[in-house]
DNA sequence: AAATTTAGTTATACTTTTGTAACCATTTAA
DNA sequence: TTAAATGGTTACAAAAGTATAACTAAATTT
């Protein structure tokens, strides 16, 4: 690897370390204020919305969330009637989770709620910047999803890939 | 605003909501394992490294961190001899914070520590993807920094811009 | 000079997240 | 058919972040 590549990677790390708190502050506060959910259970809604059905362990793997925490968060979502547990007939130890109809509808409106300020900010940008924002966020998301597939290390190794 | 723009913004929000947990999980765990600091105090180091000297309030504004939390985190960093308090001679209410020499050195090595896994992952990517990652993270960082300048709402309004 | 505002700290309570250990039920392996 | 491994839950502890009120000291306003 050349010296230039090394510097490029340094810059990437710098950028990511800067982006993280910007996103964090933008979302977590909206989530707390505008929903009665916490960020963790919202993450679970998001991956269920994307993946359909996931087992408890798969949720924990995808979110690097300890299994006891997954249980607690899913319990909350069940109380809210946003997800449901499904016993896997082929292996009755496995508990599969999926969004309910209410969960799907609620998640859509929550997304609108928590991104309201950010949406307004983005709308003030000129067309070119919005396009740049779209492309850069798409690319970053894709590559990060690709490389962030390492296992978690929580009570047991997580073998299944994201 | 056209329907296409609205969809583009929706996609941007989707992307950002996806990127956030990926970054979060990648950094916070490394920080906890590899340093004796918490993410919050590391954020403070980062903005001090970038901005030089900042007052307590400015730190709180930039990080959307409640002032009492800033005090607590800075206290920790002072115990570690990584930052120092400087009384502002023109206004003796203001407490300015800057990195010590040790703080600068430590921060550099901490950055290497906490980004080690991510760096290794990035190194496995081909040259084109690294370039894409660099460009997209740079662009995203720049635009997010630009739009995430809203005030915090913690005990008092934060007027100064980031 | 008195009243108000601002910067920061202290104290305190609460929420969220992380982590470990122990446990049950089920499946797989010996 | 025992023994071991796996998926998940329960219980519990601790770290980290969030929030508000009350306070001191200094600056500003009136």
pLDDT for A162 equals 40
**For the residues B64-83, what does the mean pLDDT come to?**
96
pLDDT for A160 equals 45
Confirm whether any atom of chain C, the nucleic acid strand, is less than 7 Å from CB of A129: no
The three-point CA angle B158-B159-B162 to 5° equals: 85
Mind giving me the DSSP string for A65-119?
--HHHHHHHHHHHHHTTSEEEEE-TT-TT-EEEEE-HHHHHHHHHHHHHHTHHHH
Structure tokens at B49: 């490294």
d(CA B87, CA B77): 17
d(CA B97, CA B88): 10
Please tell me the distance in Å from B140's CA to the nearest CA on chain A: 6
Q: Do B144 and A22 touch (CB under 8 A)?
A: yes
Nearest nucleic acid nucleotide to A154, CA to C1' distance: C19
Residue A157 phi, psi (nearest 5) = -70, 145
Please state, rounded to an integer, the average pLDDT across all residues of chain A.
88
Domains delineated in chain A: 3-157 (1.10.10.10)
Q: Do B43 and A21 touch (CB under 8 A)?
A: yes
Tens digits of per-residue pLDDT, A120-154? Answer: 889 999 999 999 999 999 999 999 888 875 444 45
Q: Do B147 and A121 touch (CB under 8 A)?
A: yes
A59 contacts in chain B (CB < 8 Å) = none
**For the residues B78-96, what does the mean pLDDT come to?**
97
Nearest nucleic acid nucleotide to B41, CA to C1' distance: D16
Structure tokens at B43: 């954020």
Three-state SS at B53? strand
Nearest residue for D16, CA–C1': B38
A121 contacts in chain B (CB < 8 Å) = 147-148, 150
Q: B117: Cβ–Cβ under 8 A, 6 or more apart, which residues?
A: A150, B26, B30
Nucleotides of D strand lying within 7 Å of any protein CB atom:
6-12, 15-22, 25-28
DSSP B52: S
* Contact by Cβ (8 Å): A146, A63: no
Higher-scoring residue by pLDDT: A35, B150: A35
């Amino acid at each position: 690897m050349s010296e230039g590549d090394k510097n490029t990677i340094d810059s990437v790390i710098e950028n990511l370390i800067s982006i993280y708190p910007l996103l964090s502050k933008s979302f977590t506060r909206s989530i707390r204020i505008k929903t009665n959910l916490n960020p963790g259970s919202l993450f679970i809604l998001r991956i269920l919305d994307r993946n359909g059905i996931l087992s408890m362990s798969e949720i924990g793997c995808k979110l690097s969330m300890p299994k006891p925490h997954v249980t607690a968060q899913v319990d909350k979502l069940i109380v809210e009637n946003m997800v449901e547990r499904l016993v896997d007939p082929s292996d009755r130890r496995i508990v599969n989770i999926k969004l309910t109809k209410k969960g799907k509808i609620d998640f859509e409106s929550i997304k609108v709620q928590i991104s309201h300020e950010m949406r307004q900010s983005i709308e003030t940008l000129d067309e070119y910047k919005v396009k740049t924002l779209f492309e850069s966020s798409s690319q970053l998301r894709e590559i990060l999803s690709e490389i962030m597939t390492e296992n978690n290390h929580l009570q047991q190794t997580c073998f299944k890939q994201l």
